[in-house]
Amino acid sequence: MTLILWTYDWVPQGPRGHVRDLRLRWACEEAGLPYTIATVRFEDRTGPDHLARQPFAQVPALQDGEISLFESGACLLHLAKKSAALMPPDPKGRAEVLEWVVAGLNSIEMVSVPWWFIGLSKPAENPLEGWLHARLTRLDAVLAHRPYLAAGRFTVADLLMADILRVPSLRAALGPWPALAAYTTRILGRPAFLKARQDQLDHFAAADAARGT
Ligand SMILES: N[C@@H](CCC(=O)N[C@@H](CS)C(=O)NCC(=O)O)C(=O)O
């Protein structure tokens, strides 16, 4: 069964290469899972069809036969159950992957996205700086002693964490955390990531051509 990954047909230049359907593309590429890309017109994202698949009018969403899912973390865990390339089959390995996927979303991205957003307005001081530093310091300490977050090898937890950490302003801030910087560079060097990223850039470039912009 071919999986369907939903994204927008078009987004402005800024987020290209960072739209979260990339997490799903990357996972499918790692696992060799067949998928196609389906699009909702950016202007139609608050229409009833898209709200039925993503209640916050966002992307990505995933369709797997009768199953329709939103939230990139939920979609990644769904994909991970299909392939040992993304998550080991043993209960201990699965538990570790689950905790680190949730940690990526709820302990790192929960801080990093608001930190990034506040930073866009270039305040003299970002009030979330200390909070983010504390989280990155702890994560750096974990990765100083092992190459991967869970199960002793690459899993979907690393895919997600590296995608969270690759926001440019965050990567620029990784200097004080050498293990974190090295980890992010290493995970982002994976061919499946490079392909997924290029495919997303090509997808939005094709949308420009179709719109004549
Ligand atoms: N928690 C959601 C966040 C999804 C999200 O922020 N999607 C962005 C694209 S990367 C989006 O759709 N932004 C448009 C909007 O929020 O209206 C997830 O991980 O799937």
Per-residue confidence (pLDDT) for residue 202, from 0 to 100: 97
Domain that residue 171 falls in: 91-190
Residue range 132-187, pLDDT digits in tens? 999 999 999 999 999 999 999 999 999 999 999 999 888 888 889 999 999 999 99
136 and 58 part of one domain: no
Substitution candidate for ligand 1 out of 6, 18, 20, 78 with most atoms within 8 A of CB? 20
Alpha-carbon distance 191 to 178, whole Å?
23
CATH number for the domain spanning 198: value is 3.40.30.10
CA nearest neighbour of 166 among 131, 138, 194: 194
Give the residue, by CA position, lying nearest to ligand 1 atom 15. Answer: 58
* 43-90: pLDDT as tens digits: 999 999 999 999 999 999 999 999 999 999 999 999 999 999 999 999
- 101 with 173, same domain: the answer is yes
CATH number at residue 167: 1.20.1050.10
- Residue 39, judged by CB atoms within 10 A of its CB (0-12, 13-18, 19+), counts as middle
**Phi and psi dihedrals of 145, rounded to 5?**
-110, -5
Amino acid letter, 122: K
- How far is ligand 1, taken at its centre, from the CA of residue 146, in Å? 30
Q: Is 58 in the pocket of ligand 1 (CB under 6 A)?
A: yes
